[in-house]
Amino acid sequence: MTTTTTGPETAAGQRPAAGDAAAPDERRRTADALRELRRPVAWMTRLGVVLGAVGAVTNLVPFVGIAEIGRALLADGPLERDRVVTAAVVVAATLVVGWSCNGAALWITHLADGRLQADLRRRMVAKLGRVPLGWYSSTTSGQVRKAAQEDIDDLHHLIAHHDVELTGAIALPLAGLGYLLWVDWRLALLALATLPVYFTAYAFMMRGFAEKMTSLDAAFGRVGSAVVEFVHGIGVVKVFGGTRRAHAGYREAVHAYGDQYAGWVRPVLRLEAYTSMALSVPVISVVGLAGGIWFTHRGWVGPADVLAEVLVAAVLPTTLLTLNQGLTAQRKAVAAAGRITALLDVPELPVPARPEPPRGRDVVLDKVVFGYEPGRPVLHGIDLTCRAGTVTALVGGSGAGKSTLAALVPRFHDVDAGAVRIGGTDVRDIAPQELYRHVGFVLQDVQLLHGTVADNLRLGRPEATDDDLVAAAKAARIHDRIARLPRGYDTVVGDDARFSGGEAQRLTIARALLADTPVLVLDEATAYADPESEAQIQDALSTLVRGRTVLVVAHRLSTITGADRIAVLDGGRLVEQGTHTELLAAGGRYARMWAAHRPAGAPGAEPTKEAGR
């Protein structure tokens, strides 16, 4: 009998989520989020519920019909054939009606589920296209994928099945008990006779459930941490022969979790094994027949009434199973709705009501203040001008704010104070589409999409011809590599070909060349390249920056000695700016960085007197 699932299956059959022990306020918030998500298709689910209720109630009619046929067969005197035929016809008709209503209900709710999923995915795509680009830096692709795929899938059972099945699970036993009350109230009580035994045991098994779940989740978290720690360090562990010791932490965490889980579940399962018999069909039937015989002997009911009671009572365990599955689906859906709503509530990049175009290629950062968290600025009052057609390099120690500052130009984030202007226009007053036609960027974290090489190159300029693609690829020193691919520019990235870090970087440079934006932001495009790739990337970059206003984040000072202006950041502040020669002569922060960067005896390694102090 499957009624085991109604009890500790939640506790023993699977590891429940931490949400079971969530704070009441959090549960209410996520429940409200789920209700709001369902609003567009609420009328369809309500219609499905009505049809499901009709279908469930009509499913009771065959039991009543069988009882009526039994009465006719057991009645004294000649058999009333018309009564039997009528009962049989009614049974057949109501079966058809019930199946039709249930089928229609599930068809409508599945249609509602399809519409809701399509609507949510459209809203997510629109949202992901309107959030600030900087949001993606702190949000993993796994989080987005989970919300867009797995969490939406978790809503399927709730929308397409839960309401209809829950309605049937409630309506059928209530209608059956109502019928038994109409026949004789003692039969209704007899149908419920075994339920108190199970519910009493269930309440005992679920004592302290929330606290146990919190403890188990903490233990499971330690297992996960041990796994991550071992996997991340497996190379070092193998090299130094410490595999046995490295396994010790994982074994201890697993054994602790297993002992804790088994210590709770083992007695619960033993108790459930006995108490679940109270909801098994044989036990219910035996109790019903034994009580029915007694009732018949006392003259309270007839044999046909006892038959009806046994049939109705046998339905109760299946409804409890459906109720339990529905509650599990409800919990998953509520948690999924919370994550979906959180994604849909991400603040969007403000779009100007009356956008203005840039009126030139100068880039000006005017008293810029910015922080990722309110009240904790990362950049403090930055004033920097990048003249049209010049190369400006940002240098500084780790955490100085170089990449953060560069990311403000393509508006990955909006400044907290001050302004970033392109061609005299604040980037916040430029329409996003117009902004990205003026500002291109090549980052050290290369992103290639799953598609053809040509599709990846045309991202910034979809109308580009094949000749344009070849010219850009040649300028980026990547055409020869593409030509050797199985299908050339029609090769699918990730399926037919994989590119090394340097090759992928040159593809993004070709993409930027093809987009032909007048302003370009480079975040150390050669950071992870090998020497040969670095030389090719530098050649490609020399072509890319020609005639453009370029802001480059540099980690290797040797790559920017020829820049028109070098801006030195320290602790989020602009402490120096000038050419390479001017900054060396000044003997400040840049000169000290240069002295540390260049090996002793190398050309240009000798610091100035000031730098040596």
3-class secondary-structure state, position 570? strand
**Domain extent listing, the chain:** 23-183+318-349, 185-300, 363-578
300 pLDDT above the threshold of 60: yes
* DSSP letter (8 states) at residue 493: B
Nearest-angstrom CA–CA distance, 347 and 24: 26
Mean local confidence (pLDDT), 571-583 = 91
Strand partners, 29: none
Written as six digits, the tokens of 315 are 């339905």
Q: How far, in whole angstroms, is CA 572 from its chain's centroid?
A: 34
Sequence-distant (6+) residues with CB within 8 A of 20 are 209, 210, 213, 331
Work out the end-to-end distance of the chain between its first and last CA atoms, rounded to an integer number of angstroms. 85
pLDDT at 249: 67
Quick check: 504 pLDDT over 80? yes
Strand partners, 364: 385, 421
Rounded Cα–Cα distance for residues 32 and 345 (Å): 14
456 close to 507: Cβ distance less than 8 angstroms = yes
Whether the pLDDT of residue 174 is over 80: the answer is yes
Angle between the 163-183 and 42-58 helix axes, to the nearest 10 degrees? 30
- Report residue 456's pLDDT band, with 50, 70 and 90 as the boundaries: confident
Tell whether the model's pLDDT for residue 54 goes beyond 70. Answer: yes
Angstrom distance (rounded) from CA 151 to CA 149: 6
What is the pLDDT, as a whole number, of residue 22? Answer: 45
Distance CA 593, CA 598 (A): 9
What is the 8-class DSSP label of residue 195? H
Highest mean pLDDT of the ranges 131-145, 246-260, 299-313? 299-313
For the domain spanning 23-183+318-349, the CATH number is: 1.20.1560.10
Predicted confidence at residue 186, as pLDDT, reads 86
Residue whose C-alpha is closest to residue 611's, from 585, 590, 591, 583: 591
User: What's the predicted TM-score (pTM) here?
Assistant: 0.62
Angle at 235 between CA 232 and CA 238, to 5 degrees: 125
pLDDT given for residue 526 in this prediction = 57
- What span, in angstroms and rounded, lies between the C-alpha atoms of 27 and 585? 64
Number of H helices, E strands in the chain: 25, 10
Percentage of the chain beyond pLDDT 90 is 10
Model confidence at 1: pLDDT above 50: no
Count, residues in the chain: 613
Angle at 284 between CA 280 and CA 285, to 5 degrees: 115
- pLDDT band at 19, cuts 50/70/90? very low
Distance of CA 334 to the CA centre of its chain: 14
Tokens at 64, concatenated: 């009543």
Between 240 and 193, the more confident residue is 193
Residue 7 has pLDDT above 60, yes or no: no
Residue located via tokens 């932001």: 521
Say yes or no to pLDDT of 82 above 80. no
Mean pLDDT: which of 93-107, 332-346, 588-602 is highest? 93-107
C-alpha to C-alpha distance for 229 and 168, rounded to whole angstroms? 49
Taking residues 526-553, report their average pLDDT.
69
Instruction: Evaluate whether 47 touches 108 at the Cβ level (below 8 Å).
Output: yes
Q: What band does 384 get if pLDDT is binned at 50, 70 and 90?
A: very high
Instruction: Report, as an integer, the average pLDDT of 126-130.
Output: 80
Least trusted range by pLDDT, from 427-431, 503-507, 577-581: 503-507
Mean pLDDT computed over 91-95: 85
Whether 23-183+318-349 and 363-578 share one fold: the answer is no
Model confidence pLDDT, tens digit, residues 470-490: 888 888 888 888 888 888 888
pLDDT of residue 6: 39
The amino acid occupying position 345 is D
Instruction: Say what angle helices 501-515 and 466-475 make with each other, to 10 degrees.
Output: 130
Q: Quickly state the pLDDT bin for 575 (edges 50, 70, 90).
A: very high
CA angle 367, 371, 373 (to 5 degrees): 150
Higher pLDDT: 606 or 334? It is 334
* Amino acid residing at 434: E
The DSSP bridge partners found for residue 363 are: 386, 422
Amino acid letter for position 448: L
494: its two tokens: 């990730």
Contact present, 49 and 101 (Cβ < 8 Å):
no
264-294 as b/e, with b when 16 or more CB fall inside 10 Å?
bbeebbebbeebbbbbbbebbeebbeebbee
Coil, helix or strand for 553?
A: strand
Please provide residue 606's backbone torsions phi and psi, each rounded to the nearest 5 degrees: -70, 120
Average pLDDT (442-471) is: 83
Query: What average pLDDT score do residues 167-183 get?
Result: 84
**How is domain 363-578 classified at the architecture level of CATH?**
3-Layer(aba) Sandwich (3.40)
**Which residues is 376 bridged to in the sheet?**
373
Res 601: pLDDT: 45
Alpha-carbon distance of 488 to 466, in angstroms, equals 12
CA distance 164 to 109: 8
394 and 552 Cβ atoms separated by less than 8 Å = yes
How far, in Å, CA of 4 to CA of 296, rounded? 33
Measure the CA–CA gap between 348 and 527, rounded to whole angstroms: 31
Cβ neighbours of residue 312 closer than 8 Å, sequence gap 6 or more: 60, 63, 173, 176, 177, 179, 180, 191
- Across the range 465-469, mean pLDDT stands at 88
Determine the average pLDDT of the residues in 526-555: 69
Sign of the alpha-carbon torsion through 86, 92, 95, 97 = negative
Q: 324: pLDDT confidence band, cut at 50, 70 and 90? A: low
Separation CA 431–CA 425 (nearest Å): 11
> Beta-carbon neighbour count of residue 358 at 10 Å?
23
> Mean pLDDT across the stretch 557-569?
86
Per-residue pLDDT tens digits for 363-382: 999 999 998 888 888 999 99
Q: Give the model's confidence band at 574: pLDDT under 50 very low, under 70 low, under 90 confident, else very high.
A: very high
CA nearest neighbour of 504 among 526, 531, 535: 526
For residue 90, what pLDDT band results from cuts at 50, 70 and 90?
confident
Partners of 426 in beta bridges = 421
Is residue 52 within 8 Å of 99, Cβ to Cβ?
no
Phi and psi at residue 176, to the nearest 5°? -65, -45
Mean pLDDT of the residues in the chain = 77
Bigger pLDDT: 263 or 382? 382
Residue 244 reports pLDDT greater than 70: no
Q: Model confidence at 67, in pLDDT bands (50, 70, 90)?
A: confident
Question: What mean pLDDT do residues 48-76 have?
Answer: 80
Contact (Cβ atoms closer than 8 angstroms) between residue 532 and residue 516: no
pLDDT interval class at 529 (50, 70, 90): low
Task: Take residue 540 and report the two structure tokens written for it.
Answer: 């490609």
pLDDT over threshold 60, residue 308: yes
Q: Give 369's strand partners.
A: 417
